[in-house]
């Protein structure tokens, strides 16, 4: 299973402030939906709760929520207690949903989940916001020497990039 991290980040790696994204880029939201529909999306509890109630759980995706709370429950989500649990369940196609493609899973936040998942990821779908923002949640530092940019779309004030991890040298 391919593991993809998808995020929008400022020049200073900020991805959030007080549980919200500090910018609003409609094209980024459209791209997020286009890329993730039909796949599992893995997120932390705070990220899940930051999604507006009217659109959560995210439709046409298997919403996998990581939390340390033993009794956490919300309709339409699959609760796990570690990234390892999430990945092994998805490898086994659990919970099975006919319309879900289990060949790829997307990690959609927050900061600590990105940090834990980055060493295992083989693809990054990043929106680079060409400005610095104040924030309390950061995307982990990426060593771009380990990645190849395979796609780049420049926009006014931001850009979209796809990166594939380079094969490890023996």
Q: What are the tens digits of pLDDT across the range 63-114?
A: 999 999 999 988 899 999 999 999 999 999 989 999 999 999 999 999 999 9
Cα separation of 126 and 88, whole Å? 25
Count: domains in the chain? 1
Kindly tell me if the per-residue pLDDT of 11 is higher than 70: yes
Contacts of residue 43, Cβ cutoff 8 Å, sequence gap at least 6: 63, 64, 65, 66, 107, 108, 109, 110, 113
- What confidence tier does 169 reach under pLDDT thresholds 50, 70, 90? confident
Cα separation of 99 and 62, whole Å? 9
pLDDT at 170: 65
User: What token pair was written down for 130?
Assistant: 């060409």
Residue closest to 39 by CA, chosen among 66, 65, 4:
4
Residue 170 covered by a domain: no
Sequential DSSP letters for 96-157: --TT--TTEEEEEE-HHHHHHHGGG-SEEEEEEESS----SEEPPP--GGGEEEEEEEE-SS
Upper half-sphere CA count for residue 33 (Cβ side, 13 Å) = 12
Residue 13 covered by a domain: yes
For residue 160, give its domain range: 2-165
Residue 135 covered by a domain: yes
Upper half-sphere CA count for residue 29 (Cβ side, 13 Å) = 8
pLDDT at 138: 98
pTM of the predicted model as reported, rounded to 2 decimal places: 0.96
Which CATH number belongs to the domain containing residue 136 in this structure? Answer: 3.40.430.10
Do the beta carbons of residue 138 and residue 18 sit within 8 Å?
A: no
- What confidence tier does 168 reach under pLDDT thresholds 50, 70, 90? confident
Q: What are the tens digits of pLDDT across the range 13-52?
A: 999 999 999 999 999 999 999 999 999 999 999 999 999 9
Residue 81 covered by a domain: yes
pLDDT at 61: 98
Upper half-sphere CA count for residue 81 (Cβ side, 13 Å) = 5
Q: What are the tens digits of pLDDT across the range 110-133?
A: 999 999 999 999 999 999 999 999
């Amino acid at each position: 299973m391919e593991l993809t991290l998808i995020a929008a980040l400022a020049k200073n790696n900020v991805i959030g402030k007080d549980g919200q994204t500090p910018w609003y880029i409609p094209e980024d939201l459209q791209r997020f939906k286009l890329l993730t529909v039909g796949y599992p999306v893995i997120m932390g509890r705070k990220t899940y709760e930051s999604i507006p109630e009217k659109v959560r759980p995210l439709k046409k995706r298997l919403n996998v929520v990581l939390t340390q709370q033993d009794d956490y429950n919300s309709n339409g989500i699959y609760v796990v207690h570690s990234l390892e649990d999430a990945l092994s369940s998805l490898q086994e196609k659990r919970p099975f949903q006919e319309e879900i493609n289990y060949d790829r899973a997307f990690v959609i936040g927050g900061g600590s989940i990105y940090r834990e998942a980055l060493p295992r990821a083989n693809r990054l779908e990043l929106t680079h916001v060409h400005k610095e923002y104040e924030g309390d949640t950061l995307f982990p530092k990426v060593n771009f020497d380990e990645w190849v940019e395979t796609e780049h779309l420049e926009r006014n004030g931001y850009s979209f990039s796809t990166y594939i991890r380079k094969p490890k040298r023996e």
